[in-house]
Amino acid sequence: MPSDLAAQLRAVSLRVTRPRLAVLAALRDHPHVDTDTVIDLVRADLPMVSHQAVYNVLHALTAAGLVRRIQPAGATARYEAQAGDNHHHIVCRSCGAIADVACATGHAPCLTASDDHGFVVDEAEVVYWGTCPACSEGIA
């Protein structure tokens, strides 16, 4: 459904270009991919896109709120299509795999800081650290 993705772009006043559609499609089909993988996925459709274009597009889409940038400590930047639901992530310390986790309680009771130090908080992010099933087996 390319027109669907095009509509998303128009909704945020961004021009509809081949690279942007390809990036959106890649993120839709592959959640939590790093920039390098995005470039590879996009080039499967459009061999001529420069990595620059991908960086530009990811920035533009992030700024527009269509995709979300996630970057666990030490790893390279990853992106996911912003579904609008406030889910969180569980990251494998060993292999870096990322899985989605729905917010446990629904209304996030502890996601309001007890003492905000005068900060204006607009988002609370939760990252669970652990070991994925595959890596757990390897260890055991």
Stretch that binds DNA, among 49-57, 84-92, 114-122, 131-139 (CB under 7 A): 49-57
What number of other Cβ atoms are within 10 A of residue 110's Cβ?
10
Q: Cα 87 vs. chain centroid, distance in angstroms? A: 11
Q: Choose among 70, 66, 104, 62: nearest CA to 87.
A: 104
| Amino acid letter, residue 132 | C
With respect to DNA, which residue has the nearer C-beta, 35 or 86? 35
Task: State yes or no: residue 136 binds DNA (CB under 7 A).
Answer: no
- By the 8 A CB rule, do 127 and 89 touch? yes
Does 15 sit near DNA (CB under 7 A)?
yes
Identify which range of 31-39, 97-105, 109-117, 130-138 contacts DNA by CB under 7 A. Answer: 31-39
Alpha-carbon distance 136 to 34, whole Å? 23
Residues that bind its own copies (CB under 8 A): 69-74, 77, 88, 90, 92, 99, 101-105, 108-133, 136
Residues that bind DNA (CB under 7 A): 10, 14-20, 34-36, 46, 48-53, 55-57, 59-60, 74, 76-77
